[in-house]
Chains A and B, each alone.
Chain A
Amino acid sequence: MKMNRRAFIGSLATGAAVSIHAGGADAAARRVIIVGGGMGGAALAKYLRLWSNKSIDVTLVEPNATYVSNIMSNLVITGQFQRASLNFDYASLVKKYGVKVVVGRVTGISDLVGGVREVTVSRGGATSILRAEKVALSPGISFSPVARFGSGDVVPILHAWVAGPQTELLKKQLAAMPAGGRFVLTIPKAPFRCPPGPYERACLVADFLKREKPGSKVLVLDENPGIVAEAENFGRAFSQTYRGVIEYRPGTKVVGVSNNNKTLRYKSVTATESDPYLSVSAAVMNVIPPNRANAIAQSAGLTDLSGFAPVDVRTFESTIAGKRGIHVLGDASSNTGLPKAGHVGNQGAKICAAAIINKFDGMAVEKSPVANSACFSPITNTKASWLTAVYHYDVDQKKMVVKAMSNGELVPADPVEAAQPTAENFAQMKIWYKVLMSDTFA
């Protein structure tokens, strides 16, 4: 075939038309609604706008006007950091990136009709409908119910595992604890939000009590067979730094909490139904119930028996039948291989943002994403430890796996923790927190 000039111009024009479309002339066809403005949702909103050159219309729906960080909240409980240091608003996402923020609660997500989903938002008693080609949920966690016993009114479980009013309440109760009192902390079966978090809390509370409430004890009841993350540093802290203060009992599960939160019943995880329970009373009863995905993920039919939302980690798209095309990220997602943590939630959001942009552009998604994990944990009020890992997508396991270089080859590996807690790590922890939150919210 002889290619003449006109035909050649024709093919150029077609190419141009395609690229204009992909570039976002038709913004109405490139809308994303994000449900939840935490570490995952905020980072997803920012990077969808930034990496699409603002060609994707992004609406973030979040019940609270201010995000309260879970990271660093243990240092607020002991009174060392100000409560306000946990607050982050959405002003930068709106001003710098053009994200639309709706303060409201999502109550429903429709099926895909004509390529569009309807999201029902309730705010101040009024209900409105938002429409978008894609919907992504980063709703965070909620808790499984805990059995209660005893008489009197039921006082809500004090978990302080979603930062906010409960963080302040636990701080108040800790400050009011009598010297020589007992603080009980229970840790649910993994997976739960922030694997090092409960052990960090035990250390910081013990450190506070040692200084402020002499003779007090911390009893840690862990449903897991051992310390879930940073076993070396936390193990050493429990057995040496806080010897005589922290008593650690792995392999124990909560079977009931009294209505007034003052007494707790527990058993060995291997005990049977008919075996007797043990009982302990406490001045402060800090029970972290088993975690699961937040209610909206449950009611939208995105969760499985685990209570979390299974996804394909290359796109964070739901793998539940009939729910393909809805993305779930952050602590609510599962089958990713990634830990539930803010730093990792931020990276998952970037993987999800790139995948959504590529899908809008008709391009293939990244086949082998990489996600880094890095976090600092205070062990005392002046010294911190850290944990890091780099996760690579594993085609056989269809999820992310920790890998590291060994003799010039990438091989399966374990996360690596600091040799010991140091003041330098504590200083770096404060910088890490500030830059991480900037990368997410600013």
Chain B
Amino acid sequence: MKTFLSLFLGMSVLLLGSAAAQADARLLASNCFQCHGTDGRDNRFEDLAGKSARDIYDEMKEMQREPSRSNIMYPHANGYTDRELRAIADYFASLRKP
């Protein structure tokens, strides 16, 4: 019973933790909404909802390596850490395609 209880409590903490982490990721990813639409559902620049996390992350990393100031996304991408880019990519990947 003790094992079961601690397992249950552990799971609750994990669930609560992941809900908080998901809310944090959503707030972080909301930085993309002004140009990519609420929840990344506007395709006038590019929609992001439902895209693969790998593709979003790789594209951002590629833009980070681009020193040119010919496109606003190159320096913009460079403002996020690796951990932040992964959280943003995972958030959009978790959404249904528009």
Which residues of A pack against B, CB within 8 Å?
2-3, 8, 15, 47, 50-51, 343, 346-347, 350-351, 354, 357-358, 363-364, 366, 369-372, 374, 376, 386, 388-390, 402-405, 408, 410, 413, 416-419, 422, 425, 428, 431-432, 434-436, 438-439
Contacts and interface: CB of A to CB of B under 8 A. Distances in A.
B72 A405 contact: no
Contacts of A50: 38
A335 to B, nearest CB: 21
A154 B13 CA distance: 66
A405 B80 contact: yes
Contacts of A3: 1-2, 5
A370 B84 contact: yes
A405 B34 contact: no
Given A3-B5, A419-B70, A435-B45, A366 B35 contact: no
Contacts of B44: 431, 434-435
B27 A386 contact: no
A416 B75 contact: yes
A388 B76 contact: yes
Given A50-B38, A354-B27, A405-B80, 18 more contacts: A347-B31, A354-B23, A354-B26, A366-B24, A370-B31, A370-B84, A372-B79, A374-B72, A374-B76, A390-B79, A404-B75, A405-B78, A417-B69, A431-B35, A435-B36, A438-B37, A438-B42, A439-B37
A384 to B, nearest CB: 11
25 contacts: A51-B26, A350-B27, A350-B30, A350-B33, A351-B27, A358-B23, A366-B24, A369-B27, A370-B80, A372-B79, A374-B34, A388-B79, A389-B79, A390-B79, A410-B81, A418-B70, A418-B72, A428-B45, A431-B35, A431-B44, A431-B45, A432-B45, A435-B34, A438-B42, A439-B38
A28 B24 CA distance: 26
Interface string B8-51: 10001000000010011011101101111110001011000000
Interface of B: 1-2, 5, 8, 12, 20, 23-24, 26-28, 30-31, 33-38, 42, 44-45, 64, 68-70, 72, 75-76, 78-82, 84
A410 B84 CA distance: 11
Contacts of B42: 435, 438-439
B50 to A, nearest CB: 18
Contacts of B23: 51, 354, 357-358
A88 B38 CA distance: 17
Contacts of B35: 374, 431-432, 435-436
Contacts of B82: 408
Given A343-B34, A372-B79, A416 B64 contact: no
B69 A419 contact: yes
A405 B79 contact: yes
A292 to B, nearest CB: 26
Contacts of B80: 370, 390, 405
A301 to B, nearest CB: 30
Contacts of A403: 79
Contact of B75 (A354, A388, A432): A388
Contact of B37 (A346, A350, A366, A435): A435
Q: Report the 7 A-B pairs with minimum CB-CB distance, sorted nearest first.
A: A390-B79, A416-B75, A419-B69, A372-B31, A354-B27, A350-B30, A388-B76
A302 B87 CA distance: 36
B28 A347 contact: no
A179 to B, nearest CB: 37
A418 B37 contact: no
B1 A347 contact: no
Contacts of A364: 20
Given A51-B26, A390-B80, A347 B68 contact: no
Contacts of A435: 34-37, 42, 44-45
Contacts of A438: 37-38, 42
Given A390-B80, A435-B44, A370 B28 contact: yes
